[in-house]
Structure 1
Amino acid sequence: MQSKAIKQQRPLAFPSKIGWQDYVVYIFFAIVLVFFSAVIGDSGFLTLTNMFNIVRATAMIAIMAIAMTFVISSGELDLSVGSTTALSALVSALVMKAGYSMFAGVAAGLISGLVVGSINGFFVTVIGIPSFLVTLGMMQFIRGFDMWITLTDPVPVTNETFNNIFGSGNLGTIPSLLVWAVLVTAVGHVTLKYTPFGRQVLSTGGNRMAAEYSGINTKKVKFITFLLSGLAASTAGMLYTGMMQTARFNFGTGAELLAIAAVILGGTSMFGGKGTIIGTLVGALLIGMINNGLIIMGLDVSQQMMVAGAIIILAVSFGKKPTI
């Protein structure tokens, strides 16, 4: 009887705090979507054609950002993805222009990204140079190499199969770029959240020493994340090439900053240990939607940059602050 009375007097347990900061990117996505729909009107913004335009403009950034999520979650950074994008685009185009098959061009492009990723990983994990400095130097070196190998001339791609698969084609009514973005997102989400490697990445970024004591080869984990980043950048480069049906040395200029912004907006900790692929995708789409809406509203480039930057700062400010 006494235990029953005690049980009845026990207060109900409610969550002490709802972590709404984890959903800031989704909240801002909804706010920006409603704002542009109201200001521009459904006929100019919320059309299927315009939604596909946003996806086409965002897909490559999203793919690079998904791989960047692994790098940042492991506690590192990769600033070379933009120039690597152009490198793989040019290498693929030059190989096909020389008369080799589409498969040879794709393989050459992917290998170029893996080479860059392995160089970054080597200097970071073996030599011990901070990833910011290594990838900053690689960014400059590769961009100069991109300009040198073609003397800044564009390289046209006439292989229709390549162009249709990588950017220009559609799967029914769905743009191939959307298919690529969904595929990479699905693979990245499953890998980070449900595989041992994903847990090792988060453990490495969260507490490297504790991860090593638990038997994780943190250097190997970080090396693989740089390989993934190079592979994603090379894939994005071929998607740019297929969409434009030509390769240019300036592909991916500034893409590294947009990719990092998408990752941080999505909720990944810039100090490592926490990452979300779905959030990264939404962050990339948010950036693409802002740029698209501002263009439709008729703002010039300088105004677009100012407004987009202010919105990104505002969104990050409302997000969960990292603890040091």
Structure 2
Amino acid sequence: MSQKIITILGENIEPGKSYELDFDVAKLHTASSIDVPIIIERSKKPGPTVLFTAGIHGDEVNGVEIVRQLIAKGINKPKSGTVICIPVINIFGFINLSREFPDGRDLNRVFPGLKNGSLASRVAYKLVNDVLTEVDFVIDFHTGGSGRFNAPQVRIAKNSSKLDALAKTFGAPFVLYASNLKKSFRSTAYKAHIPMLLYEGGKSNHIDDNVTNTGVNGAKRVLHGLGMLNSKFKVSKPKKESVFITASKWQRANFSGMFKASVAISTKVENDDIIGNITDPYGKFNHFVRANSSGYIINVNESPIVYQGDALFHITSKLKNQ
């Protein structure tokens, strides 16, 4: 981890300097150029290289806001090592607030990509081969899907003491052990032996202050733990220790109708607690949704209309050392 010249997108990046490079893959269909800025800050002092990414899915704007704040506040300017920020990877989806690329592909399912493949595959290939090769740690910021609000949480693979320690340092309320999805960015980094924390919080097309603050504070803690955070920034301790989750399950709707949750995200519930209700538009039907297990609620469906079988709540079912 000596502070030497590194190469990003074919350009030599020298210690003690700031760079803004263009992650240029393709033009819009209007022939207009489209630039994805990569912001790089290097200290003269040796240290690790940390990559912050967001916007792999174009509608996950809360992650974009977290990385934006890291840059705007100067948190990305390290006292040692190197910080690379890519606030929006899927700029094509971000323009339209769409999860996928224009060709309908999910960028997070085409890694490590192909040099001459689909548009999404080319972006993945360039990210892996022209950026990731110089990186020691990655924090990738995501959000929940449309209408489903995720409690702030970090997702990591099992059986990695390095990831466990990194997640504990980040300090999100929950750490969920989740398998690396095939052809995902996280899976590719794992195979390259590059530790990655995947942060999930909130929902798509929405910015939530608590989710944002948790992500920014977590990033500061990780940089501080690596000896990289500028001394002008204060590091706060998490209000509570992270809850490590080894198993969880979705509770689904037994009826179709108008839905309203009656418990807040991150609440710990007991089996048979009333956690919501489903009604019809005519005032003739009211079904109380009761928890079918005890645990923490880490995702809530915020859609006002649900159908039988829709996922309503994601509830933890087993915690580490439980």
Tell me the TM-score normalized by structure 2: 0.24
**More strand per residue:** 2
Mark the structure with the bigger radius of gyration.
1
**More helix per residue:** 1
Q: Which has the higher contact order (CA 8 A, sep 6+)?
A: 1
Tell me the TM-score normalized by structure 1: 0.24
